[in-house]
Copies of this chain bind each other. A is one copy, B any other.
């Protein structure tokens, strides 16, 4: 059966609602187990034109594990400005009309030995429609074993779904790169966009990428959240976070998309670290 686009939108939107609550519950439980009383705060926002949708951002700050963790879900529609259309597939043909739904996630950890984790998955509709997303990790302090673990989990999801892990890994490395410093943002992960071969299979892949995030979070946190760290480790993390800010403001397509689609500033900038340093 070929699903029509309205059903696809509905299914994607419902999945992203569910995924957001799964991720929030997992993070809240991790935080609670650490003995912390920090809780998620919910913010609901809508676009200026309420008929064009909005989203819910869930943010927990100053935890014992998460210095800041945010889980956003939004479903928005509208029309892109003429100038921005050529940058988005199918948006010239749709005369700027778009619909988009997705979940994005960023965790900046208190312990500088635990990597920052970024994730998002989305379904975008213009004259075309496709899934995009990915997971990547940004450690301040390298750990080869951790790198292997994370990439192992991601490879498994790709293999299960007949997706080309090597290609998605390469795409991630190319995307999370700071040309002005000739530096990778972190240790990569997987990244994909314009997945539109087989909607059912792509959707299944997107769901599994969402669920493996929770697995990855638990893995990296269980391994090292109790590791000792000193002032120098923290400094190293704060400088690394400076690079994170540079990437997000200079290059990130998600930031550009948000700013160009009348998104909520607090949600777009949720990915920014709570604090950062520059030399």
Contact = CB atoms under 8 A, between A and B. Distances in A.
A276 B276 contact: yes
Contacts of A246: 249, 269
A12 interface: no
A268 B269 CA distance: 23
A53 interface: no
Nearest to A258: B180
Contact of A278 (B180, B181, B273): B273
Nearest to A178: B265
A210 B263 CA distance: 40
Contacts of A277: 274-276
A246 B277 CA distance: 14
A255 to B, nearest CB: 8
A274 B276 CA distance: 8
A242 interface: yes
A164 interface: no
Contact of A245 (B180, B245, B259, B265): B245
Contacts of A275: 238, 275-278
A266 interface: yes
A69 interface: no
A238 B265 CA distance: 18
A245 B255 CA distance: 15
Given A274-B278, A275-B276, A277-B275, A245 B249 contact: yes
Contact of A180 (B238, B242, B259): B259
Nearest to A182: B265
A220 interface: no
Nearest to A249: B249
A44 interface: no
A279 interface: yes
Interface in A154-169: none
A180 B248 CA distance: 15
A62 to B, nearest CB: 12
A277 to B, nearest CB: 5
A243 to B, nearest CB: 10
Interface in A225-248: 238, 242, 245-246
Contacts of A242: 272
B265 A181 contact: yes
- For the complex of A and B, the 5 pairs showing the least CB-CB separation, nearest first, are A249-B249, A272-B278, A275-B277, A249-B250, A180-B259
